[in-house]
Structure 1
Amino acid sequence: MSCANRPDRHRMSARQDTFGSPDQQALLGRGRALHDLTRSNINYTYYGRTVGIVSPDRTPFAELVSMTRLQGASHFAHVQNDQMPALVQQLKPHDLSAVHYARWVGDASALQAARETVTSKQLPDGLTSLWLTGESDNRLRASLARAALACGVLPPHLAVLSGALQPGLCRMAVTDQGEVVSCAAAASYMHADHPEGQVECWWGMLSTVPDWRGFGLSLRLGAEVMLEMAQRYGFTRFFTGIEPGNTASEVVCTRLGLTLTDTSTLSVADPGQLSGGRMTK
């Protein structure tokens, strides 16, 4: 969720709907195409990056490998922690990389913390908060991409972030000069017919550029996104994945009422298709 200062090596796609390096743009395009083909399958997930699988309990492991080969990355969204070592071991013969994200989840406590945050924490002078929409101009979209990617965070497909394809939101803190300096997002990720598909949503993409850290921007924007997902779409539970050891992200989640669970997300990538062997931070 926090970012490091690094050179801007990324650009937007010509279609203005995918972000990042050429590898990342291609991955987002493949993920969207596969989602168009599989969107009726209740066992799959999608929140604007790649199509994944809800759980290893009802889907063969070989399917995760195949979906990773097709897209360049995929995941098991819900994995019991005691299952994780065996799943990672099974990946080794396939030359695929794995990243373990601990699942943090918040419900009523998160919404209450979000309400308190919005009431108590105002944006500094010189900043305005805006929602990303399908009408947001290319300059704003490009600035959003720079802010997130500088933090190592890959923004999901624009159609999801803008809510055009499925329930989704992106909130940005923007300077008077029109530069995005912080952002947060959320989106549905399970099929609407899944028992939890209209209850739990993905939440995250919290990023703040170095010059604007220390003002609580991620906290404020993350809270706004939670409240709007609840009001606009009816979601009451929010999950995010944090790589163990990312203390800054754990602190923000704790302050917004999310707690560590006994489950994780297993993210898998094909290093031959995705430089660095991982999709996002």
Structure 2
Amino acid sequence: MFDDSFFGTDAQQGLLRRGRALHDLLNDAPNMSYYGRTVGLLRPEPGSLDTLERLIAIQGSSTYSDLTRQEASALRLQLDARGYSGTRYDAWEGDDDALKAARRILSNHALPEDIRVVTLDADAAETDLAALAGVALSCGVLPIAGSMLRGQTRPGVGLVALDANGRAVCCAAAAAFARDDDPKRGDQCWWGMLATDPDRRGQKLALILGALAMQQMHQRFGFASFMTGVQPGNAPSEAVCRASGLQDRGRTILTVVDAAVLPGGKLTS
């Protein structure tokens, strides 16, 4: 059964629902991205700023995901002038180094004995999906749409770690991002949504689940390139990325939000 689960506040759920509907309507149009939150643009093209503004008007948020630092600064000024709230993320990326790091992590680190990991495929219980959403949201991370976590809309993986009492203590995810035929990002998937319950931090759960997500995206769907967005100065996230074989190659992701639609002006922390 196709999963129509969306998470977060009413405003966040509405935004995710509009993003999924727009993805289904546009059916992977050129230069557009979708990984389970909103439909965005990959890179600037003539007239694309007006297109981005229309995407924001429909969804409440959208994204440019393939910008140089200079392009991001210029676009940020233009978007600020139009009254939008923008958040910059540095794109951390990895290819063979990421897969090698994933194998090394899984070889060198074992999960605690009381932890089991559930892969949220099409047959996974709704309670496991709800558990993943619970731990993610408690850490300020907005889960992507349930159909992406289950790999139903596009290739995707959702993982949740449960303790002996069935309580979710960590999660991770990865999903297809651009069209398969995009010359720059077609073979690269989004990776992230790492969140760990404060009581279980220091046990490398996020590192292990992140490695498992990479491994599954490679083994099940053939992806061998990974990317995620990190706000500049977020040292813990940068450390996890570095340990996972990712590096900052100078690309910028710009997420733009209509604060009237999404209070606070941010899609996720």
Question: Is the TM-score greater than 0.5?
Answer: yes
Instruction: Find the partner of 2:191 among 182, 187, 203.
Output: 203
Question: What is the TM-score of this pair, normalised by structure 1?
Answer: 0.92
Match of 1:106 in 2: 94
Name the SS of the counterpart of 2:67 in structure 1: strand
Local SS of the residue matching 2:44: coil
Shift in CA distance, 130/273, structure 1 to aligned 2, threshold 3 Å: same
Q: 1:278 and 2:266 equivalent?
A: yes
Match of 1:226 among 211, 214, 232: 214
1:19 aligns with 2:22: no
Structure 1 segments (4+ residues) deviating >6 Å: none
Aligned length: 267
Per-residue CA deviation, residues 30-77 of structure 1 (Å, 9 max, x unaligned), is 000100111231210000000000101455211111111110110001
C-alpha deviations, 1:157-181, integer Å up to 9, x for none? 0111100111000111111222111
Q: Which residue does 1:88 correspond to in 2?
A: 76
Counterpart code for 2:36? G
Aligned-pair distance for 1:262?
1.1
Which is further off, 191-200 or 42-51? Answer: 191-200
Quote the offset at 1:193 in angstroms: 2.2
Q: In angstroms, what is the RMSD of aligned CA positions?
A: 1.3
Against the structure 1 CA distance between its residues 126 and 59, is the aligned structure 2 distance closer, same or farther, given a 3 Å change threshold? Answer: farther
Moved more, 55-64 or 161-170: 55-64
Instruction: Judge conservation of contact 1:19–1:155 (CA < 8 Å) in 2.
Output: yes
CA distance in 1, matches of 2:224, 2:238: 20
Aligned equivalents of 2:267, 2:257: Cα separation in 1: 7
Describe the SS at the equivalent of 2:264.
helix
Q: Secondary structure at the match of 1:277?
A: coil
Aligned partner of 1:70: which letter?
A: I
Counterpart Cα distance in 1 of 2:73 and 2:8: 31
Determine the C-alpha separation between the residues in 1 that align with 2:196 and 2:241: 15
Give 3-state SS (helix, strand or coil) of 1:276's partner: coil
- Provide the C-alpha distance between the structure 2 equivalents of 1:237 and 1:71, rounded to a whole number of angstroms: 28
Match of 1:214 in 2: 202
- State the one-letter code of the partner of 1:200: Q
- In the alignment, is the contact (CA less than 8 A) between 1:198 and 1:235 conserved in 2? no
Q: Which residue of 2 aligns with 1:79?
A: 67
Matched position secondary structure for 2:92: strand
- 168-177 or 104-113: which moved more? 168-177
Conserved? CA contact 1:42–1:193, under 8 Å:
no
The Cα offsets for residues 58-106 of structure 1, whole Å up to 9 and x where unpaired, read as 5521111111111011000100011111101101232110000000000
Shift of 1:243: 0.3
Report deviation, 1:195: 2.2
The residue aligned with 1:137 is 125
TM-score (norm 2): 0.96
**Aligned counterpart in structure 1 of residue 139 of structure 2, from 143, 151, 171:** 151
Name which of 182, 204, 208 aligns with 1:194: 182
Letter in 1 for 2:140: G
Provide the rounded CA distance (Å) in 1 between the counterparts of 2:128 and 2:98: 29
Deviation, structure 1 residue 197:
4.8
Query: In 1, are the aligned partners of 2:128 and 2:160 still within 8 Å (CA)?
Result: no
Report what 1:163 is aligned to.
151
Q: Residue type matched to 2:128 in 1?
A: L
* Structure 2 residues not aligned, in runs of 5+: none
Give the percent of matched residue pairs that are identical in Structure 1 and Structure 2. 41
Q: Pick which of 191-200 and 62-71 moved more.
A: 191-200
